[in-house]
Amino acid sequence: MPNSPVEQRNPHLGNPVRPWLKLRFLDAYDATIEVALLADTGCPFALILGQDLLDKLERMPGNIRHSNTGFLYGAWVRLVMPEFGFDHDVLAYGNQDVASGVASDHPSFQGLVGLPLLRLGEYGGNANEFWFRR
């Protein structure tokens, strides 16, 4: 019997309503941290998080990039979601202005997940919900 696809479906949140995903990371001490991130298919970075959150998750420093929102401070973080087959170090960026902007749409959003990470699976949505699957 083939494996059934693993899927995460989330109702849109916020004002205006936004698609989002819940992702799980390990911090520097291997403690699990789950975060709600706005899904942004127009973002060329895998993850942009609040700087405080990135500091907690950092495993190794990354580079600094300049964007239209200012400087993005890079760090490698560990994304661990075995149900999707993910146990990877991912280059994430920290920017408090981005985190504050998405939190203004909904207070549970702590950053955004961009196209490079979304392309690791299938994603889509409709007027009511956003889904991601293996």
Boundaries of every domain in the chain = 22-120
Helix (H) / strand (E) containing 54: helix 51-57
Q: What is the mean pLDDT of residues 56-63?
A: 97
DSSP codes of every residue in 59-110:
SEEEEEEEETTEEEEEEEEEEEEGGGTEEEEEEEEE-HHHHHHHHHH-TTEE
pLDDT tens string 83-116: 999 999 999 999 999 999 999 999 999 999 999 9
Least confident interval from 2-6, 18-22, 41-45 = 2-6
Is the backbone of residue 73 left (phi > 0), alpha (psi -120 to 50) or beta?
A: beta
Give pLDDT, residue 4: 57
> Measuring CA to CA, how many Å separate 103 from each of 13, 28, 38, 93?
11, 24, 9, 16
Sequence-separated (6 or more) residues with CB below 8 Å from residue 46: 90, 91, 92, 113, 114, 116, 117
Give pLDDT, residue 3: 56
Provide the terminal-to-terminal Cα distance of the chain, rounded to the nearest Å: 17
> What is the rounded average pLDDT for all residues in the chain?
94
pTM, two decimals, is: 0.93
Q: What is the mean pLDDT of residues 41-56?
A: 97
Give pLDDT, residue 134: 87
Give pLDDT, residue 22: 97
pLDDT tens string 24-41: 999 999 999 999 999 999
8 A C-beta contact, residue 127 and residue 16 = no
| Domain boundaries 22-120, corresponding CATH code | 2.40.70
